[in-house]
Amino acid sequence: MKVAVWDTYVTKKDGSVMHFDIIAPEEIRDTSIIYGYGKDYLTSKGQEGQPLTSKECRFCHIETLRAEWEAAIKQKGYFIIEMENCK
């Protein structure tokens, strides 16, 4: 399975910037679905209501599914790689 990597930078409520990647099956090309995944993740981090649009989230590349992502993608449809300021 191939997955798409969406590079995402969101300004948190405290003004710092979260950097994370949204990993989703490559066939999902509807950005509203991808942004929905990102908004779900932001809610889980107490950052609900922060903007998540094409300005914050862009398609980056396609890569092969990694085993550690598979369970989350099967369960939720996506996986998040936390890069910076995600705690």
pLDDT digit string, tens, across residues 22-64? 999 999 999 999 999 999 999 999 999 999 999 999 999 999 9
Specify the pLDDT at position 38: 98
Assign 3-class secondary structure to the chain.
CEEEEEEEEEECCCCCEEEEEEEEECCCCCHHHHHHHHHHHHHHCCCCCCCCCCCCEEEEEEEECCHHHHHHHHHHCCEEEEEECCC
Q: What are the extents of the domains in the chain?
A: 2-84
pTM for this entry:
0.95
At residue 72, the pLDDT reads 96
Instruction: Determine the CATH number of domain 2-84.
Output: 3.10.510.10
Q: What is the pLDDT of residue 14?
A: 97
